[in-house]
Structure 1
Amino acid sequence: MSEQRAPVHPYTVLAMAILLPGVGHVLAGQPQRGFGFAFFALLLALVSWHTTTPDQSFIGRSAGGLFVWALSIPDAYRIARVNYESWRRRQSILS
């Protein structure tokens, strides 16, 4: 039986999810979900940017996208953690 490659460590996925929206999901093996989060983060950032006034802060003007990005971080970490723990359990059974 061939040994399965170890998934990316959950902390690495967490770090990448914090740096760029969607990248954590791609590393965790769910690229479509990651691209979806990245797309909607950008879309909602643009929508909130164009629906606010210029006197708002950058955070306020891009709040919609930042909200989606913030939701994607724990989601990517959870997926990576589940994948990693499943892999560890399979390895301990095989050993």
Structure 2
Amino acid sequence: MVKPDTARPVHPYIVLLAAVLLPGAGQLINRMPTRALIMLFFMLSLGFVTLQLAAPGRSFIGRHAGGVFVYAIAVMDAYLIARYRWEMFRSRLAV
């Protein structure tokens, strides 16, 4: 039985969509604002470092590869945490 104070978590696909559209939004929906700020900080800082070190003829993605990498990690992180919470909530319903 579900406890009355247990709130239903946000569906993982909604978190995934928010994380893809806006960096850090998935972590905010998961109620992890500190993690969102950390991800944004590293996206910006690694994107800047890669921009400074990349060769002049590289594409936009190549020039900002560090930031894009952290962005991809942030999207996966937000989705996996949301999926974990969703499955834990569903397993409590089944008991």
Superposed CA deviations along residues 7-27 of structure 1, whole A, max 9, x for unmatched, are 111001111111122211111
Aligned residue type for 2:49: V
The superposition leaves residues 43-85 of structure 1 with CA deviations (integer Å, 9 ceiling, x where unpaired) of: 1111111222442211111111001111111111110011111
- The worse-fitting range, judged by mean Cα deviation, of 11-20 and 50-59 is 50-59
| Equivalences, count | 93
Larger RCO of the pair (alpha carbons < 8 Å, separation 6+): 2
- What TM-score do you get using the length of structure 2 for normalisation? 0.85
Q: Distance in 2 between matches of 1:27 and 1:55?
A: 38
Aligned partner of 1:26 in structure 2 is 28
2:9 is matched with 7
Q: CA deviation at 1:3?
A: 4.2
The two structures, once aligned, show a CA RMSD in angstroms of 1.6
- Among the aligned pairs, what percent are the same residue? 44
**TM-score, normalised relative to structure 1:** 0.85
- 5+ long unaligned stretches in structure 2: none
Unaligned runs of 5+ in 1: none
Distance 1:55 1:45 in 2: 16
Q: Secondary structure at the match of 1:13?
A: helix
The DSSP-based 3-state class of the residue aligned with 1:90 is helix
Is 1:69 equivalent to 2:61 in the alignment?
A: no
* CA–CA separation in structure 2 for the residues paired with 1:29 and 1:91: 22
